[in-house]
Structure 1
């Protein structure tokens, strides 16, 4: 999924750069690639990794509360 997003964003950013500059420099392409990579990694972390961590923490908290409630009920 990340590879697909990176590939598409690179294609789009490369096409936009070609429209802006007749002959793109290698430095420009490398900067564009790195900028795109950083942006997609940030998006991946925010939307995929952080919710998973939060879900696991929430699930652990709920399990602990359930266990303590069951202990109190005994």
Structure 2
């Protein structure tokens, strides 16, 4: 869900910035657009790698190993 949110919001922000430019575009504007696009792409890669590494059963907890043996507390 966060991946799609980041994708859509970042794409709309970058497209709005690009299409909202008027007049001449200098080096500073080009550097700004490049930086925002790189941050967006970096976020996409981060969420993509996180999705690959995530556990996909969505139960909110990691399962424990099946056999821990007999554990007893004695005095």
**Normalised-by-shorter TM-score class:** 0.3 to 0.5
Q: TM-score, normalised by structure 1?
A: 0.47
User: Counting helix residues as a fraction of each chain, which structure ranks higher?
Assistant: 1
Asked which structure has the greater RCO (Cα within 8 Å, sep 6+), the reply is: 2
Q: TM-score, normalised by structure 2?
A: 0.47
